[in-house]
Chain A
């Protein structure tokens, strides 16, 4: 087995220390390579590794506490990551305590939630942390009992020496163990012998959630805390010119109204700092309701922003971007896209001779797909608590990657990182939006300015109209077929505002002799950001819908059609850099085919749509069964098949896939944000349609491919192919193809 011992390169370390009262605390920093394109898996011994950390605390009375290192936004890390430690530590899951760990960017590594990486990047380091701790306890017991450590065994938090009949709890040896040097090369468990991981465990915060305990950033409060809200322009492309707060300041509970800049001119932003609006008009008062009310009395004059340049130092290097001026509207954006889609675009990949193949084709199929901006609509709007003084800063709230924002907070407040404490609360959703830092920085600056602890609160309207959306997309797919309707060339030309979604090295690249991928982009002042499975969430809609139509045109079953391509991709792949594993891709298609009874006569009554996709290192396939309900298409059942390697917490993983399916159906059918003269036309749930229970399937059956491959992501992979499967089921249900999201806007025109 690979990766089966603990490994410590010279930059990694395990530290143990005595707790007050004499317990063992192991703070572990392993090094795992993390790559933001999500391609690289854990590698041993590389200089480029960055630190990841977990904690184990044991008291003499055998209380065992495991600290979750990573921010929780509903993906279950608060439960699943400690399970990994518990497995190797060999403790009784029912008897341990789990707590959110502290944030320590300098010492403890990334601590971020995004890119479906939590389990993947912590898998090995947390196993090592558990195994090393167990070994130290065994050594302590061996010394005390004067027996060889090899004769010590453990079971559920107790150490045994069978020959002498001696036994003792971990707690009894914790103090002694803490003085023992960190062992190297400790053998990790054989995955096949796991008894905590791979067994469903309930959400450790379940009881707190169902009783309404203050878990979220919105719930954070402190003596003397004020509430701050920001009035931002009601249109992209506008900024603050002047304001009159006379009436606002007369309102009850209002303390202050002022304007300030988020970043000073020329500030070099980090990749996730973000700013949609740089001039902040801030209202501060005693309570949220008072501030909300008082904002209505503001008299503000906004003015257009000129074209501007911003320097962004992201993970892929420094980049100067030009933000255009102007008030954009969806209709003109669509017209621009349609025009640019016909112009030459940037080549992203080429195999064979696609032009000749298209020239010689007996049949050509060409289809164009579009998708709108999407708002994240986390149920908990953006918010953050800040208490900034001359000496230090305390920041508390929901963020996916506090460590990415901390350096900027440090620069802006002119405080060293060790004077900045960030506490991570549970997040009421994130979906990518909470990886961005503007609201954290805003909170810090406001607290500094008003010299008081404040909580910055975004209203739903503020949240929905701030930007950082899923981009707006368009893509044209073309396929060339010979006289026997065999696929001989494939061409994707994708565009977006402001970026395209084309992943040139993904399926069906590698399975077609002649292949061309191209991309084009239109800059915009409407800001965008990561949204659950960025790029993939559009590709899997358009490409999987196109493949379905292609299979139909070729007279083939849509699953068999894909499997045949994958067979080609495995046996005789075209080109290099194909990102996916054709076997695992085919594996989820075969599994969903079997579990859904794809060809069973009793399922003929459903309008069935299938789609599969690979992203974030995992494979997902769905069969969507649609019927008519009250005259409208309704997804009644879904069958899902996933391959994400070892599944840590099966029931929680099923929950996540079910959620991704519902989220996917909702966004495919109803999601979308449009603009008129720079202003969002939807600013709350009365205009932005969210999927609701009556539109959610009756059953979503989830199956995992069973293997012992190191775990990969699960938060994102099941989401994208839902769009394609829904589109394909709609075709059966409505008797026509749907090319433009959200699909429900075309229902009436059937």
Chain B
């Protein structure tokens, strides 16, 4: 066990956990932030996606010891009132079916648009193909990202 001061969503949060604990579980079970989801634990589904210094990472593969001073953004902190352009586009296109994968999808999409505000369809496909949706909402996700890109 070791104490870490993590910068999460603009706040400093202290946790006392095993250094190998993935940020996914730190968020979900130590900090009561369950918006980041567990889907596979092996970096193959994207349900656990958060931003590390603005870049999308799989939090199931990110041990707390590796975070250091970097800033973590989770779905809970993506916007003040759930009104990030990507979140708004998701509602406009009514993307979700079961919804379980969607916070991860949104975090990947938001990081994509930050790095590349006007991605081509192929760039969207490449960026999003690490996120699995068993409900098959990909067509709407793609449309929502295109809408969000226009709104920026």
A and B assemble together: yes
Residues of A within 8 A of B91 (CB): 202, 206-207, 210
Q: Are A429 and B134 in contact (CB under 8 A)?
A: yes
A700 to B98, CA, bound (A): 19
A-B contact count (CB 8 A): 194
Which residue of chain A lies nearest to B45 when distances are taken between CB atoms in the complex?
A685
Residues of B within 8 A of A193 (CB): none
Residues of A within 8 A of B35 (CB): 211-214
Q: Are A218 and B136 in contact (CB under 8 A)?
A: no
| Distance (whole angstroms) from the CB of A83 to the closest CB of chain B | 14
- Cβ < 8 Å to B, chain A residues 240-283: 252
Which residue of chain B lies nearest to A208 when distances are taken between CB atoms in the complex?
B99
A659 to B134, CA, bound (A): 8
| B54 located at the interface, meaning its Cβ lies under 8 Å from any Cβ of chain A in the complex | no
| A41 located at the interface, meaning its Cβ lies under 8 Å from any Cβ of chain B in the complex | no
| B76 located at the interface, meaning its Cβ lies under 8 Å from any Cβ of chain A in the complex | yes
Q: Are A214 and B140 in contact (CB under 8 A)?
A: no
Given A210-B91, A212-B35, A663-B136: A693 in contact with B131 (beta carbons within 8 A): yes
| A35 located at the interface, meaning its Cβ lies under 8 Å from any Cβ of chain B in the complex | no
Which of the residues B36, B42, B129, B138 comes within 8 Å of A212, measured between beta carbons?
Answer: B36
User: Which of B37, B121, B135 has the most chain A CB within a 10 Å cutoff?
Assistant: B135
Residues of B within 8 A of A18 (CB): none
| A74 located at the interface, meaning its Cβ lies under 8 Å from any Cβ of chain B in the complex | yes
A627 to B132, CA, bound (A): 23
Residues of A within 8 A of B102 (CB): 209-210
A692 to B100, CA, bound (A): 16
Which of the residues A213, A227, A460, A700 comes within 8 Å of B139, measured between beta carbons?
Answer: A700
- Cβ < 8 Å to B, chain A residues 657-680: 658-663, 666
| B106 located at the interface, meaning its Cβ lies under 8 Å from any Cβ of chain A in the complex | yes
A203 to B28, CA, bound (A): 25
Q: Are B40 and A684 in contact (CB under 8 A)?
A: yes
A75 to B137, CA, bound (A): 12
Residues of A within 8 A of B74 (CB): 212
Q: Are A693 and B134 in contact (CB under 8 A)?
A: no
A691 to B138, CA, bound (A): 10
Q: Are B36 and A379 in contact (CB under 8 A)?
A: no
User: Which of B47, B98, B138 has the most chain A CB within a 10 Å cutoff?
Assistant: B98
Residues of B within 8 A of A659 (CB): 97, 135-137
Q: Are A218 and B137 in contact (CB under 8 A)?
A: no
A651 to B98, CA, bound (A): 15
**Partner-contacting stretch, out of A286-294, A316-324, A406-414:** A286-294
Which of the residues B29, B42, B76 comes within 8 Å of A460, measured between beta carbons?
Answer: B42
User: Which of B21, B94, B101, B134 has the most chain A CB within a 10 Å cutoff?
Assistant: B134
A158 to B27, CA, bound (A): 46
Q: Are B125 and A219 in contact (CB under 8 A)?
A: no
Q: Are B45 and A206 in contact (CB under 8 A)?
A: no
Q: Are B134 and A663 in contact (CB under 8 A)?
A: yes
| Distance (whole angstroms) from the CB of A78 to the closest CB of chain B | 10
Residues of A within 8 A of B87 (CB): 210-211
- Cβ < 8 Å to B, chain A residues 183-213: 202-203, 205-207, 209-213
Q: Are A428 and B98 in contact (CB under 8 A)?
A: yes
Which of the residues A214, A216, A459, A656 comes within 8 Å of B97, measured between beta carbons?
Answer: A656
Q: Are B25 and A287 in contact (CB under 8 A)?
A: yes
What's the interface size class on B, roughly? Answer: 35 or more
Given A658-B139, A658-B140: A218 in contact with B38 (beta carbons within 8 A): yes
| Chain A 210-228 interface mask (CB, 8 Å, partner B; 1/0) | 1111111011010000010
| Chain A 61-75 interface mask (CB, 8 Å, partner B; 1/0) | 000000000000111
Residues of A within 8 A of B141 (CB): 693
| A574 located at the interface, meaning its Cβ lies under 8 Å from any Cβ of chain B in the complex | no
Q: Are B34 and A658 in contact (CB under 8 A)?
A: no
| A39 located at the interface, meaning its Cβ lies under 8 Å from any Cβ of chain B in the complex | no
User: Which of A381, A655, A661 has the most chain B CB within a 10 Å cutoff?
Assistant: A655
Given A288-B25, A460-B40, A694-B129: A660 in contact with B98 (beta carbons within 8 A): no
Q: Are A214 and B39 in contact (CB under 8 A)?
A: no
Residues of A within 8 A of B47 (CB): 379
Q: Are B98 and A380 in contact (CB under 8 A)?
A: yes
Residues of A within 8 A of B42 (CB): 460, 684-686
Q: Are A289 and B21 in contact (CB under 8 A)?
A: yes
Q: Are B30 and A252 in contact (CB under 8 A)?
A: no
Given A288-B29, A379-B47, A660-B136: A210 in contact with B39 (beta carbons within 8 A): no
Residues of A within 8 A of B22 (CB): 289
Residues of A within 8 A of B129 (CB): 692-694
Q: Is the interface of A mostly helix, strand, loop or mixed?
A: loop
| Distance (whole angstroms) from the CB of B38 to the closest CB of chain A | 7
A212 to B91, CA, bound (A): 13
| Distance (whole angstroms) from the CB of B82 to the closest CB of chain A | 4
| A626 located at the interface, meaning its Cβ lies under 8 Å from any Cβ of chain B in the complex | no
Which of the residues A209, A289, A377, A699 comes within 8 Å of B99, measured between beta carbons?
Answer: A209
A76 to B98, CA, bound (A): 8
| Distance (whole angstroms) from the CB of A439 to the closest CB of chain B | 16
| Chain B 87-116 interface mask (CB, 8 Å, partner A; 1/0) | 100110011111111110010000000000
| Distance (whole angstroms) from the CB of B102 to the closest CB of chain A | 5
| Distance (whole angstroms) from the CB of B85 to the closest CB of chain A | 12
Q: Are A685 and B40 in contact (CB under 8 A)?
A: yes
| A100 located at the interface, meaning its Cβ lies under 8 Å from any Cβ of chain B in the complex | no
| B120 located at the interface, meaning its Cβ lies under 8 Å from any Cβ of chain A in the complex | no
| A745 located at the interface, meaning its Cβ lies under 8 Å from any Cβ of chain B in the complex | no
Residues of A within 8 A of B52 (CB): none
Given A202-B94, A460-B40, A698-B121: A252 in contact with B100 (beta carbons within 8 A): no
Which residue of chain B lies nearest to A292 when distances are taken between CB atoms in the complex?
B41
A659 to B135, CA, bound (A): 5
| A426 located at the interface, meaning its Cβ lies under 8 Å from any Cβ of chain B in the complex | yes
Given A288-B25, A685-B45: A379 in contact with B139 (beta carbons within 8 A): no
Q: Are B96 and A209 in contact (CB under 8 A)?
A: yes
Q: Are B94 and A692 in contact (CB under 8 A)?
A: no
Which of the residues B44, B76, B124 comes within 8 Å of A684, measured between beta carbons?
Answer: B44
| A22 located at the interface, meaning its Cβ lies under 8 Å from any Cβ of chain B in the complex | no
User: Which of A207, A293, A427 has the most chain B CB within a 10 Å cutoff?
Assistant: A207
Which of the residues B97, B98, B126 comes within 8 Å of A694, measured between beta carbons?
Answer: B126
Residues of B within 8 A of A76 (CB): 97
User: 10 tightest CB-CB pairs across the interface, nearest first?
Assistant: A212-B35, A428-B100, A662-B136, A74-B98, A74-B97, A212-B75, A696-B138, A659-B136, A685-B44, A209-B99
25 A–B contacts, CB within 8 A, in A order: A206-B94, A207-B82, A209-B96, A209-B99, A210-B90, A213-B35, A218-B37, A218-B38, A221-B34, A288-B29, A289-B21, A289-B29, A379-B47, A381-B39, A431-B134, A460-B39, A655-B94, A655-B97, A666-B136, A684-B42, A691-B136, A691-B138, A692-B128, A693-B138, A693-B142
Contacts from A to B (Cβ < 8 Å):
73-76, 202-203, 205-207, 209-216, 218-219, 221, 227, 252, 287-290, 292-293, 376-381, 426-431, 459-460, 651-652, 655-656, 658-663, 666, 684-686, 690-694, 696-700
Knowing that A205-B96, A426-B99 touch, tell me 17 more A-B residue pairs with CB under 8 angstroms.
A73-B98, A203-B94, A210-B75, A211-B87, A213-B35, A289-B22, A289-B29, A429-B100, A658-B137, A659-B137, A660-B136, A685-B40, A690-B45, A693-B125, A693-B141, A694-B126, A696-B138
